[in-house]
Amino acid sequence: MVREAEGGDSYNLSISDLMSSLLMIFVLALSYFMLSYSQKTAVLVENEDKRLEILTLLEERLKNRGIEVKVVKDMGVLRLPEGILFDPGEATIKPSGLMAITILAPTLKEILLNPNYKNSVETIFIEGHTDSDPISSGKFPSNWELSAQRAINTWQELNRVEPDLNQLSNKNRQPFFSISGYADRRPVAPNDNPDNKRQNRRIDVRITMIPPQKEK
């Protein structure tokens, strides 16, 4: 009977050791997960702060020269109203738009070359948007073409002012700049009156940041 008891104690001890080991593994795994999660959260927060710094700098540079723009912080957007860049239904950049771009282009170059923002910015989208009124100028088949051509012309003028912009790339060696035309698909106000339609006709400069990298 004593031997049986000793055998039972040995068995119970082995189970206890196993459970303690599993618990330790779980605690270590949980600690690693929490550390990794905290680090990724810190990167996200830091990148959001950097993006806000960039947008604020762009806004200040333009407004100091009398060019009214709008920053949409949660979307990472610098918004250039149509009135600055284009006449209604046109894709040719106006003199006021050319002036805005002569300020915007070197500021973007300065930011992208700034060590504080190195490996932080992923893409800068130049986005064209229109209101919902059908295009009637005869130059463009639809608002799709108008919005896309406005975005293209904006980028081309940025690149003319600062040719180096076209050579810059993110940490993944991908070019920073991208172009898109959304027509009337992403309004910022209902297309129900002239003022709202005016808000919807715009160029958005959207900045996206490098997300935390997946561990290999």
The domain that holds 135 is classified in CATH as 3.30.1330.60
Is the pLDDT reported for residue 2 higher than 80? no
Identify whether 8 is part of a domain: no
Query: For the residues 49-65, what does the mean pLDDT come to?
Result: 93
Query: For the residues 172-193, what does the mean pLDDT come to?
Result: 96
Identify whether 37 is part of a domain: no
Given this model, what pLDDT does residue 43 score? 54
Tens of pLDDT, residue by residue over 4-37, are 445 556 656 577 766 676 777 766 666 555 555 5
Given this model, what pLDDT does residue 98 score? 96
Query: For the residues 194-204, what does the mean pLDDT come to?
Result: 95
Identify whether 204 is part of a domain: yes
Token pair listed for 72 = 């949409």
Identify whether 38 is part of a domain: no
pLDDT interval class at 198 (50, 70, 90) = very high
Given this model, what pLDDT does residue 212 score? 67
> Whole domain around residue 107: which residue ranges?
45-209
Query: For the residues 158-187, what does the mean pLDDT come to?
Result: 96
Given this model, what pLDDT does residue 139 score? 87
Identify whether 188 is part of a domain: yes
Identify whether 154 is part of a domain: yes
What are the two backbone dihedrals, phi and then psi, of residue 81, each rounded to the nearest 5 degrees?
-60, 155
Identify whether 3 is part of a domain: no
Give the separation between CA 202 and CA 141, rounded to whole angstroms: 19
Number of folded domains that form the chain? 1
Residue 81 near residue 198 (C-beta atoms within 8 A): yes
Tens of pLDDT, residue by residue over 118-149, are 889 999 999 999 999 998 778 899 999 999 99
pLDDT interval class at 102 (50, 70, 90) = very high
Burial class (CB in 10 A: 0-12, 13-18, 19+), 69: buried
Identify whether 7 is part of a domain: no
Percent of residues, the chain, with pLDDT higher than 90: 68
Residue 166 near residue 91 (C-beta atoms within 8 A): no
Given this model, what pLDDT does residue 115 score? 94
Query: For the residues 87-103, what does the mean pLDDT come to?
Result: 94
